[in-house]
Amino acid sequence: MVRSLRSIFASRNATISVALAGCVCFWISAASAGPRFARVGERTQSSPIGWVQFCQTYIAVCDTTPLPPRDVVLSDRAWDDLKRVNDWVNHTIKPETDMDHYGMIQWWRYPDDGIGACHSYALLKRRMLIKAGWPRTALLMTIVHEANGEGHALLTVKTDRGEYILDNLEDRILLWSETPYRFYKRQSQSDPNVWVWLNDVRYTAAIRTSSLR
């Protein structure tokens, strides 16, 4: 069972205490037409360079052993936790590219100084939920493509009612198939250091439809 969410984490210059409270009731939309679970493909040959960088900095986080896949039971309480974490991180961290922040094209890190790119938002949400008792096997760093082809990182939360997305560009928590992205690859459920391809059936269907016109 997921514990009540109460996370305390440090920045470089100060300690930030987070006490998250409140209630948001949860309903699953019966009208949702998209698939609730993404189709997972083969294992990628290597992890994204951003995750490799992250593991070089946060060795203990990545020094893990494989675990059996586990989806979270999406109760009202679990939904409240997701909503509070997503809202708090989205409205507390200041967005800034890695180039502007660190002088590097890409550098995956926790935003402990209050600043970060999309992957930093997702990493912090993952850390907060794990500290609250959520299984890491249900919290998957994911890489998608935006409509303009740009890469984007977010957090997939695997539940018994579908795969939901925590995104710094969207305060609503949406089913993966309700987002505007093309899903590309994500962490394996059993091992965070293994990444798998995602077969986005929505994109494939769009290509097939277009070819028939």
pLDDT along the chain (213 residues), means of 10: 42 34 41 81 96 97 95 97 98 98 96 98 98 97 96 98 98 97 97 96 49 37
HEC-encoded secondary structure of 68-128: CCCCECCCHHHHHHHHHHHHHHHHHCEECCHHHHHCCCCCCCCCCCCEECHHHHHHHHHHH
CB within 8 Å of 183: residues ≥ 6 apart: 38, 142, 144, 176, 198, 200
Give the structural domain span for 160: 39-211
Residue 76 belongs to a domain with what CATH number? 3.10.620.30
Q: What is the reported pTM?
A: 0.83
Count structural domains, the chain: 1
In a domain, 12, yes or no: no
Q: CA torsion sign, 107 to 19 to 86 to 100?
A: negative
In a domain, 8, yes or no: no
Q: Are 175 and 183 in contact (CB under 8 A)?
A: no
In a domain, 44, yes or no: yes
Q: What is the pLDDT of residue 201?
A: 78
